[in-house]
């Protein structure tokens, strides 16, 4: 987690093929999954948020790109509190009982 917001924005733009200056929060997780970095462009500069767990635990992290793209701002707040926001249950639409 040595990279700063400009280097992370470069990854967003060139590797993820996303727009780093859009109204989005981009999350990055360290190799041990104990540190998360978030970057946000705020019209004239970067906001960089770092959270490192000191309790010996690790953050839950998405297994697929699809899971990662489903996260919302409310999920980020829960993630920072330690919740597993990537464990999603399927939505069922049953038509009949039995």
Q: How far is CA 37 from the centre of its chain?
A: 8
- State yes or no: pLDDT of 47 exceeds 90: yes
Is this model's pTM higher than 0.75 or not? yes
Question: Which carries the bigger pLDDT value, residue 17 or residue 61?
Answer: 17
The pLDDT of residue 5: 95
Per-residue pLDDT reduced to its tens digit, 81-97? 878 787 766 777 889 98
Distance CA 32, CA 14 (A): 24
pLDDT, residue 60, reads 82
Model pLDDT, residue 76: 86
Terminal alpha carbon distance of the chain: 51
Give me the residue label for tokens 């989005």: 24
Average pLDDT across the chain, whole number: 88
């Amino acid at each position: 987690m040595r990279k700063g917001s400009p280097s992370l924005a470069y990854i967003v733009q060139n590797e993820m093929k996303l727009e780093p200056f859009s109204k989005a929060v981009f999350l990055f997780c360290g190799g041990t999954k104990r540190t998360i970095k978030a970057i946000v462009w705020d019209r004239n500069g970067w906001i960089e948020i770092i959270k490192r767990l000191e309790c010996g635990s690790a953050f839950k992290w998405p297994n697929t790109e699809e899971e990662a793209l489903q996260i919302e701002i409310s999920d980020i707040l829960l993630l920072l509190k330690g919740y597993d926001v990537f464990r999603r249950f399927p939505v069922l639409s049953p038509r009949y009982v039995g």
